[in-house]
Amino acid sequence: MIRTVLLIPFFFFAACRKENVSLPVFQEAASPVREDLSSVWMTDSLHGIAVGGKPWETGCILSTDDGGRTWQTDTLLGRKMENVMFDREGQGYVCGQDFALYRPPGSRHWYDFRVNYYWNKACYFPENQYGAMVSGGSFQNGQISTFGPDAFWQLDTFREIPNALAGVWFSDATTAHAVGIGWVIRSDDAGHSWQRLDVTGDFFRSVHFPTPETGYICGSSGTLLKTTDGGRSWQTIRKGGSSGKRNQAFRALWFTDTEKGYVVGDNGLFWYTENGGKDWAAVKEAPAGVHFTDVFALNRLGWAVAENGRIFYFER
């Protein structure tokens, strides 16, 4: 059962915009596909995976071994894949329409571990013994599935919520966070039970914790949230809107530490902060008109994917 937790009032303040920032490297890589790409994850500075496809028709898994300069078709599927991530032990996970896959450390092959016929939007596995996956339709019928820790193949718990969910993250071994349309929920027992937090007002698309205590959430109408207490409470650092300059179509964010991070979205939106989201600068080299869908960074290196099969790598 999902319980609602009332939090202390938010401290509202608007994130300011600085002048544009120029990155020393921001280049587009050749892509072997033209379908939309949804997610990218690098296991180190050279090796990584990107996924995407066309809903109900095709799915793709791409790989790189040279830091994202070139990409190859790894696996072709019959359904669009939405998310990729790797756990601390090097096992990979991909989820999307209808099913989810895993790849053992050292292997080049992907194997089914769950066929559920849901639109799985994101998954997170801290280790190969347990994790969580969230799903949902276009706006409603959200689901949360948790796995392990006793048996990786066993679906331990399954929850349904009214609204679709889009992102999930473990900030430590037992604390999980999931976000979606007007929902931010938290678990302190590895996803076996969840509590809804008093946070609404946007379609929250992405959640990321660079440390166990500090985390960020972005919404598709331009909202940015921040926590410094492990997700128990969230403060609005940028309030989104239904129109005007406040309405920014954020899709994903990533922070390399508590202060430095990126948020990306539609129409060339590619912002960078170095003071924990207080101020943001638009990356000058990001091409206008590109609908960015995900971003990933390791130290000063970064990668981003977008619609129409577009892939970029950059350096800060």
**Domains (ranges, CATH) in the chain?**
3-21+34-248 (2.120.10.30)
The overall average pLDDT reported for the chain is 93
**Which pLDDT does position 7 carry in this prediction?**
43
Q: Are 168 and 194 in contact (CB under 8 A)?
A: no
Sheet holding 292-298, edge to edge: 25-29, 311-315, 301-306, 292-298
pLDDT in tens, 44-62: 999 999 999 999 999 999 9
Tokens of 33: 């596909």
Q: Are 218 and 204 in contact (CB under 8 A)?
A: yes
**Which pLDDT does position 18 carry in this prediction?**
58
Strand 301-306 relative to strand 311-315: parallel, antiparallel, unpaired? antiparallel
Q: How confident is the model at residue 16 (pLDDT cuts 50, 70, 90)?
A: low
**Which pLDDT does position 220 carry in this prediction?**
97
5 has pLDDT over 60: no
Q: How confident is the model at residue 64 (pLDDT cuts 50, 70, 90)?
A: very high
How far apart CA 27 and CA 25 sit, in angstroms, is 6
Strand 195-197 relative to strand 3-5: parallel, antiparallel, unpaired? parallel
pLDDT in tens, 66-111: 999 999 999 999 999 999 999 999 999 999 999 999 999 999 999 9
Give the three-class secondary structure for 50. strand
pLDDT in tens, 247-272: 999 999 999 999 999 999 999 999 99
Compute the average pLDDT of residues 186-197. 95
Predicted TM-score of the model (pTM):
0.93
pLDDT in tens, 193-244: 999 999 999 999 999 999 999 999 999 999 999 999 999 999 999 999 888 7
How far apart CA 119 and CA 125 sit, in angstroms, is 18
